[in-house]
Structure 1
């Protein structure tokens, strides 16, 4: 009994070998695409974390204007208080650099 490859013409055997190589390359490509997709998913998660962190920083920075306004008001009150020589026991002065 002879095997099918011995009965097949040489050009068909060559064509079959080319298709097997093509299949191997496609399997490698699929594996690389899966790794790439995993990498991009992880990257997306990291960007989501950065966006959330940036939002938190933005909220903190928004509050700084209120802090400086409060310091300024306190400084103005302290200046007025010194002029009138009133009791400043509840006032805390914070120097602005």
Structure 2
């Protein structure tokens, strides 16, 4: 069959075979690239979840520091009140 085909058709058929090989190679590379991007996407999802957890911890620490500050203020006020009560006591000698 190839011996009866004109040379320009044989050349065209060879070009189409090369084009098919290139397209198959391109499809394979695209598949590898898609796999790579899927893995990258999963890693980014993990990073985002880790960032959210870190954000939650930092928000909780803000509450902890506020609580410590309020506790220290309350303790200071209570100590001041106790000192005022001690200074306002009148001591009456009994003996």
**Could you tell me which residue of structure 1 aligns to residue 26 of structure 2?**
29
The aligned length equals: 82
Structure 2 unaligned spans of 5+: 84-95
Look up the SS of the partner of 1:5 in the other structure.
coil
Q: Which has the higher helix share?
A: 2
> Higher RCO, 1 or 2 (CA under 8 Å, sep at least 6)?
1
Unaligned 5+ runs, structure 1: 86-97
Take 1:8 and 1:20, find their aligned partners in 2: how far apart are those partners?
Answer: 16
RMSD (Å), alpha carbons: 1.2
State the 1:77 CA deviation: 2.4
- Shift in Å, 1:61: 1.3
1:78 CA displacement = 2.5
Large movers: runs of 4+ above 2 Å: 80-83
2:13 is equivalent to residue 20 of structure 1: no
Return the alpha-carbon distance in structure 1 between the equivalents of residues 20 and 38 of structure 2: 27
Normalised TM-score (structure 2): 0.79
Offset of residue 73 of structure 1: 1.3
